[in-house]
Amino acid sequence: MAAAFDEMKGHDGDQVRPAYGELAQWLKEVPPDVLDYRRREAELIFRRIGITFAVYGEADATERLIPFDVIPRIMAASEWRFLEKGLTQRVNALNLFIKDVYGAREILRAGIIPEDLVFRNPAFRPEMNGQRVPHDIYVHIAGIDIIRVDADTFYVLEDNARTPSGVSYMLENREIMMRLFPELFSRHRIAPVENYPDELLASLKSVAPLTTSKEPTVVLLTPGVFNSAYYEHSFLADKLGVELVEGRDLFVKDEVVYMRTTQGPQRVDVIYRRVDDDFIDPLTFRADSILGVPGLMSAYAAGNVTLANAVGTGIADDKAVYSFMPAIVKFYLGEEPLLKNVPTWRCREEEHLKYVLDHLPELVVKEVHGSGGYGMLIGPTASKIAIEQFRAKLKAEPKNFIAQPTLALSTSPTCVEEGVAPRHVDLRPFVLTGRNGVRIVPGGLTRVALKKGSLVVNSSQGGGTKDTWVLDS
Amino acid sequence: MLSRTADNLYWLSRYVERAEYLARILDATQRLSALPLAYVGASNEWESAVLTAGCATGFFKLYDEANEENVTDYLAFSTANSSSIRSCFEAARHNARAVRTALTMEMWDSINGTWLELKRYGNGPTSREEFSRFLRWVQESSLRFDGSAYRTMLRSDAYWFSRLGVYMERADNTARILDVKYHLLLPDNERVGGPLDYFQWAAILRSVSALTAYHWVYRDSLKPWLVADLLILKDELPRSLSSCYEAIVRNLDQIAGAYGRQGAAQRQARGMRTRLQNSKMDGIFQRGLHEFISEFITENNRLGGAITEQFLL
Amino acid sequence: MRIRISHATSYRYETPPKSVTQVLRLTPRNHDGQYVVNWRVEVSQDCQLHQQEGAFGNISHVFNAEGPFDELSVTVAGEVDTQDTHGIVNGAIERFPPALYLRETALTMPDPAIIDFAEATRTDAGTDTLTLLHALMMRLNAEMTFDTEPTQVETTAAEAFAGKRGVCQDGTHIFIAAARHLGVPTRYVSGHFYRENDTSAQDAGHAWAEAYVDKLGWVGFDPTNAISPTEAHVRVAVGLDYLGAAPVRGTRYGGGGETLKVTINVDQANWQTQSQSQS
């Protein structure tokens, strides 16, 4: 594996890249104890406002803080413009793909994607078949995970088309940076992100059903206080100025959704839902769900409510479907994809599986439906035993896995025990799609692997976050 | 606003108010039971505390006898009792957490701080002194929460529902004391009980924090019918039934005004307010104090049901 | 044959509910083997019935009835002309290509026992799909005891197969699990079955499977009766499993102490009457 590209110093490491000029200078000037002091101050603020998340798979499932790194990750305006174009293209293609999969199924007929990969995919929702959604938009909010390997090459690592989270960190990180480092801010011209809630609200209102007569009512549907992302749900509802509702606050009568208010039933037009498909309507999906709204799908089918994101969008963030994204972009848009896909071996295919089994120590192997960095193997850093254990899992259920080369994610200067050192980062921009097109707030959430050499940036696996600065030049 | 949000706010206030009431009962009982028998008679004050707290059924499932040790534990710290002070604070905090964005920072800090501090008391105090400090702390916590709501909340429906919870709970609490102790307040009691009952009357007043107020209002020594008059009909006393209903009607009217719609809850509350306004102590005694109180408790519960039905479901 | 059906589902509540929402898949559609002469759906409480066509082409009705009420009943009744098509279903509404019906669901996931059973059948019966499916049905019928002992609706194919007992729903789930494992697209059908001489009480309605056979199309297999559907079968709804084709899925807000009674009558119009009931 070649040395990683550094966001500040490039490949060779002796020259500071222009976007990082001011920051490099500042890092030289600022005494280490001040940096450390600010870091602790930031942690205190986070703890007081209570931004925590629950960690799965740990016995005590305690509430934890996601570590915050005070050194920002910086992108030049030209870099962002390129990403913005690429992301817009990708999300447009995702929307067309989902519409097609639940509609005419042309991409299956054309033989570009195997039928069974769609039909037998747990994320495919047959119940959505033939159903139109308001304005033909399915993925209203997408979180596209981007990694960088050199000055000009960005890869998409994952498309999150269900209920991507993390945007509250993007907003809070910026807020805290402005409080802690006003002088560093004044030395840059940074594109703002705090208009994200306004953009989101406008976007959600724009996709209200055609039957909405007046100003549409938007709500945010949460599974409740025990959900790991509850903080984000209440944070966003607050910023959007919409009601934070649970399933039991809503009901369906005569194909219209209402919320129970102190003034009687009030019609709901758009539901920004953070409840998974499986739980959203016990009369259509899991009958044992108490988080959903009975009959919601009937109101949806009647075209009287918009769900954001639509039901069944998971088919687009399946990792096996991901491997077809370049073909998907070409099929629907007739364009070459601007953002690259990481080369992917689909273990469901015999030849691919053979290659993967022969090269396990070099590859990253992921579960097709996994997320959050769980259940994956990183060949180069895994022990022999771990590799052999994974080999057995892979052989037992090959169709559940894909494999990719181990990419050297770019690094960015980060505050660690020894001082300031490079650590691997990725980027999750949040892409909004409304009736009037795609909107992306400049930047996104930069996640950083705090352990030296680690390539796993997921917060559940010891990753942290950084503020992301897109320079406005 | 969401019915669930209103429900959470209403119950948040009710639980905090209930915790304070329990602390007052325990405080008054502790004083009474410390007096020599000659001053208070042979009645079991601890049993009467359980009755006044309205949880006798649950208590006697666990214990055969009501004494200081098990009553203080059951009313203050027990997790088996869903209306113990601890359970009240926990339920209050649970309701607060569910509607955190509808609370002001001060309210959240107050209830969350109380909940955190509750842990310090563990499973109960080690001494009477410590227990007294605990009871004072409970009352102060309730005052702090009430004050934070009063001083920081927007005057909108969220505030009115939260106030409604306070006064509904308070009316119920005062009525419950009267229900258990009414026999001490009957007009002929002065002759029957004589000075023996003096400390009981004082204790009743203490449990609604009205001992000083009594003297200010009547400028007289303690007389049972005046105690009853104060607790039932005097608008000036914040914990009297009459005063609670003045506030209930006012808050329900605010809601009706904002929503532009009246309902069963408003009509019923006004009816009760009118009845209290038109009553005199003589008349109440003539028709029977106990009957009056029982009827009030039933009606108050019915109003609680109407509020729930109209707004909170 | 003209079949007359009435199907009543009645609920009683000790504590009246505030409201009840239900999705009904109780209305048959036409295909070459059946023609719906008349059909009506009635709900005993005031409400609007909204008709929708679901993703699988089934007709569903959704209603929300506001309480309080002590009783609620849903009645469907009508007449259907049927003819024997040797189990082949032509002219039905198809919203998916057959490949969709290879999809596994929680209720039809094959376990090792079902996989063994399916593969052993293939070893004996050979690879001709139609022969194989018939063999599967006959064997399943021989191995299982079908009764009306009420099983829970969430019993999986694997659980029912392990117990070797079940109702028509369970037999159908096992058949589906095995056939899909063998690569044959298969689906769940809920409907009614007219029994000429058999008046034994049954679980609500009847269920069987349909499998896709190249050149023939969809062919019905009724493992409970060890036959392919005849003119005695009335097809109401299809799905991937019971949950997708369930006659009634509902929920209530508030209330409690619910008891359910289902009464089904399937008889030949102008013929003798039989009555099935369950309480």
A269: which 2 tokens? 């037009």
- φ, ψ for residue A281 (rounded to 5)? -150, 105
Q: How confident is the model at residue C203 (pLDDT cuts 50, 70, 90)?
A: low
d(CA A325, CA C203): 48
d(CA B16, CA B189): 35
- φ, ψ for residue A395 (rounded to 5)? -70, -35
Find where tokens 């008054």 sit. Answer: B28
Predicted local distance difference test score (pLDDT) of residue B195: 58
Predicted local distance difference test score (pLDDT) of residue A62: 47
DSSP sequence for C122-165? HHHH-S-HHHHHHHHHHHHHHHSEE---PPPTT--HHHHHHHTE
Closest residue in B to A242 (Cα) is B1
Mean pLDDT of C213-236: 95
d(CA A35, CA A175): 17
Min distance A230 CA to chain B CA atoms (Å): 10
Q: Which helix (H) or strand (E) element contains residue C52? A: strand C50-53
CB contact under 8 A, C95 and A130: yes
Tell me the count of A-C CB pairs closer than 8 A: 75
Average pLDDT, chain C: 91
- With contacts defined as CB-CB under 8 Å, which chain C residues touch A126? 55-56, 96, 100, 103, 240, 244
CB A201 within 8 A of CB A238: no
Strands C165-166 vs C145-146: parallel, antiparallel or unpaired: parallel
Min distance A283 CA to chain C CA atoms (Å): 6
Tell me the count of A-B CB pairs closer than 8 A: 37
Reply yes or no on whether the pLDDT at C219 is more than 60.
yes
Predicted local distance difference test score (pLDDT) of residue A227: 86
Min distance B106 CA to chain A CA atoms (Å): 13
CB contact under 8 A, B2 and A249: yes
Amino acid at A403: A
Predicted local distance difference test score (pLDDT) of residue B209: 85
> Is B256 near chain A, with CB under 8 Å?
no
Find where tokens 């494992």 sit. Answer: C181
CB contact under 8 A, C64 and A282: no
CB contact under 8 A, A262 and B2: yes
- With contacts defined as CB-CB under 8 Å, which chain B residues touch A248? 4
Alpha carbon of C277 to those of C9, C43, C201, C260, C267: distances in Å?
Answer: 10, 19, 6, 12, 13
Which regions of chain A are under pLDDT 70?
1-2, 47-64, 370-374
- Domain boundaries along the sequence of chain B: 14-153, 154-313
- With contacts defined as CB-CB under 8 Å, which chain C residues touch A294? 21, 250-251
d(CA A149, CA A41): 33
Predicted local distance difference test score (pLDDT) of residue B302: 96
- In a 10 Å sphere around its CB, with 0-12 CB exposed, 13-18 middle and 19+ buried, how is residue A110 labelled? exposed
User: Residues in chain C, how many?
Assistant: 279
DSSP state at residue A79: H
Those residues whose C-beta lies under 8 Å from the C-beta of residue A1, and which sit 6 or more positions away, are A380, A406, A408
CB contact under 8 A, B98 and A249: no
d(CA C250, CA C63): 10
Min distance A249 CA to chain B CA atoms (Å): 7
Min distance A291 CA to chain B CA atoms (Å): 15
Of A126, A252, A301, the CB nearest to C21: A252
Amino acid at A175: E
- The count of other CB atoms within 10 Å of the CB of residue A398 is 18
d(CA B299, CA A313): 53
- The count of other CB atoms within 10 Å of the CB of residue B235 is 12
Please name the chains neighbouring A, where neighbouring means 3+ C-beta pairs under 8 angstroms.
B, C
Closest residue in A to C58 (Cα) is A127
d(CA A426, CA B156): 45
Whether the upstream peptide bond of residue A341 has omega within 30° of 0, thus cis, is: no
CB A415 within 8 A of CB A68: no
Q: Which of C22, C59, C103, C156 to mutate to test the interface with A (most CBs of A within 10 A)?
A: C103
- Could you state, in chain order, the average pLDDT of each consecutive group of 10 residues for chain B (313 residues)? 95 96 91 74 81 90 91 92 95 90 88 87 80 93 95 94 97 91 72 65 86 90 89 94 96 94 93 94 90 94 95 91
What domains, with CATH codes, occur in chain C? 2-82+247-278 (2.60.40.2250), 88-245 (3.10.620.30)
Half-sphere exposure of A400 (CA within 13 A, CB side): 14
- With contacts defined as CB-CB under 8 Å, which chain C residues touch A130? 55, 95
Predicted local distance difference test score (pLDDT) of residue A164: 92
CB C194 within 8 A of CB C2: no
Q: Which of C62, C109, C153, C186 to mutate to test the interface with A (most CBs of A within 10 A)?
A: C62
Please tell me whether residue C101 adopts helix, strand or coil conformation: helix
> Is A312 near chain C, with CB under 8 Å?
no
- The distance in angstroms from the start CA to the end CA of chain A is 35
Please name the chains neighbouring C, where neighbouring means 3+ C-beta pairs under 8 angstroms.
A
Alpha carbon of A227 to those of A234, A259, A294, B307, C235: distances in Å?
Answer: 11, 21, 20, 30, 43
Q: For chain A, what is the largest distance between any 2 Cα atoms, rounded to a whole number of angstroms?
A: 68
Of C66, C100, C251, the CB nearest to A126: C100
- With contacts defined as CB-CB under 8 Å, which chain B residues touch A249? 2-4
Of C21, C96, C154, the CB nearest to A294: C21
- With contacts defined as CB-CB under 8 Å, which chain C residues touch A282? 249, 251
Q: Which of C234, C239, C122 has its CA nearest to residue C176?
A: C239
d(CA A125, CA A120): 10
d(CA B158, CA A358): 64
Min distance A237 CA to chain B CA atoms (Å): 9
Q: Which helix (H) or strand (E) element contains residue A56? A: none
Of C50, C55, C99, the CB nearest to A254: C50
Closest residue in A to C103 (Cα) is A120
Predicted local distance difference test score (pLDDT) of residue C279: 43
Closest residue in A to B262 (Cα) is A263
- In a 10 Å sphere around its CB, with 0-12 CB exposed, 13-18 middle and 19+ buried, how is residue A461 labelled? middle
Alpha carbon of C46 to those of A42, A258, C65, C73, C255: distances in Å?
Answer: 59, 19, 6, 11, 18
d(CA C65, CA C44): 9
- Which residues between 236 and 275 in chain A have a beta carbon less than 8 angstroms from any beta carbon of chain B? 237-238, 243-246, 248-249, 259-263
d(CA C207, CA C195): 14
CB contact under 8 A, C50 and A284: no
Of C21, C240, C244, the CB nearest to A295: C21
d(CA A407, CA B42): 85
d(CA A441, CA A192): 8
Min distance C100 CA to chain A CA atoms (Å): 5
Q: Which of B299, B234, B232, B310 has its CA nearest to residue B268?
A: B299
Strands A243-245 vs A218-221: parallel, antiparallel or unpaired: parallel
CB C191 within 8 A of CB C236: yes
Min distance C114 CA to chain A CA atoms (Å): 18
- With contacts defined as CB-CB under 8 Å, which chain B residues touch A245? 2, 4
> Is A193 near chain B, with CB under 8 Å?
no
Convert the pLDDT of each residue in A114-129 to its tens digit.
Answer: 999 999 999 999 999 9
User: Residues in chain B, how many?
Assistant: 313
Torsion over CA of B160, B165, B170 and B172, rounded to 10 degrees?
A: 130
Predicted local distance difference test score (pLDDT) of residue A57: 37
